[in-house]
Copies of this chain bind each other. A is one copy, B any other.
């Protein structure tokens, strides 16, 4: 019986060391190259065999999920801090800025959040923990008259989907161009810019279903 939350079954010392080495290598490669790196590259970089990887992680996705644990925790912390801001508009926009800056620095993070394909468990837990903070910010910003009143928290993924696309397209050529996009978009989110929108937001159910799709 162990004290750690994840019921670790007391790994042999070499096994623990190797597991850590694997996660470290994967973290580095996935942040730089994205989740597309082959498992072979990861094991080679770690100086270990494939068998070792699959002893510790049932699938590549599980490894990715584990690798991003820290990045997810950091996003939750950013949301927590943002929610503490007096001015909700400032809180919301700084959260967006900081979260997207993390996306630029960590390709794996961006791709996983964009696709919902990889590493589902921890990613989903993170979403659940962040949601109330952002929902609160949105409500407060609307009450303070800074955020347009027809924007809902179900529209938030939109910002990450689209900014993610801008980042992946321009990161290597103009790594800060996404800030221009965010500026444009934020100008459309201000209460005083608002014009009636032609479509309702997604429902929570639609948002959940929008997950699976992707390809190409």
Contact = CB atoms under 8 A, between A and B. Distances in A.
Contacts of A189: 184, 187-188
Interface in A6-38: 34-36
Contacts of A164: 165
Oligomeric state, in copies: 2
B216 A115 contact: yes
Nearest to A151: B184
A50 interface: no
Contacts of A36: 215-216
B195 A183 contact: yes
Nearest to A200: B180
A84 interface: no
Contact of A187 (B163, B183, B188): B188
A116 to B, nearest CB: 9
Interface residues of A, number: 53
Contacts of A177: 199, 202, 206
Contacts of A176: 198-199
Interface of A: 34-36, 111, 115, 148, 151, 155, 158, 161-166, 168-174, 176-177, 179-181, 183-190, 192-202, 206, 209-210, 213-216
Given A111-B216, A168-B214, A185-B185, 6 more contacts: A162-B166, A172-B210, A173-B209, A180-B201, A185-B188, A187-B193
29 contacts: A36-B215, A111-B216, A148-B187, A151-B184, A158-B181, A161-B165, A161-B166, A162-B163, A162-B181, A165-B165, A168-B213, A170-B206, A172-B209, A172-B210, A173-B202, A173-B206, A173-B213, A176-B198, A177-B199, A177-B206, A179-B197, A179-B198, A179-B199, A180-B199, A180-B201, A187-B187, A187-B189, A188-B188, A190-B195
